[in-house]
């Protein structure tokens, strides 16, 4: 079994990872989800900052209404991973594996 297959086995929604029991499967699954949440937060924050910069430049344009229509009305991209629920729920669990 490859590392990728092992990780996918642990994070598969049909998998049998018990988050109440300290196991290597729990650590693998949580490492995946925590990394995903951190990456989502990092990319989303950068994108939100980029949109704010674009709006500021659009406000300074002579044809600001046109510039804003090109940008659109989206201020951020929503992803449920941004809330970092898995990290908050299981991130402080003790492990001995």
Q: What is the pLDDT of residues 26-66, one digit of tens each?
A: 999 999 999 999 999 999 999 999 999 999 999 999 999 99
Structure tokens at 55: 């709006």
In angstroms, rounded to a whole number, what is the distance separating the alpha carbons of residues 38 and 43? Answer: 9
Residue 90's closest CA among 12, 15, 13, 34? 34
21-33 pLDDT, tens digit per residue, is: 999 999 999 999 9
Comparing 11-15, 53-57, 75-79, 93-97, the range with the smallest average pLDDT is: 11-15
Q: Write down the pTM of the prediction.
A: 0.82
């Amino acid at each position: 079994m490859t590392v990728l297959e092992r990780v996918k086995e642990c994070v598969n929604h049909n998998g049998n990872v018990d988050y109440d029991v300290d196991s290597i499967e729990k650590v693998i699954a949580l490492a995946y989800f925590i990394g995903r949440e951190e990456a989502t937060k990092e990319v989303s924050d950068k994108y939100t900052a980029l949109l704010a910069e674009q709006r500021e430049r659009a406000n300074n344009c002579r044809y600001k209404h046109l510039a804003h229509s090109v940008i659109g009305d989206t201020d951020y991209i929503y992803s449920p991973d941004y809330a970092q629920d898995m990290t908050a729920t299981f991130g402080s669990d003790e492990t001995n594996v």
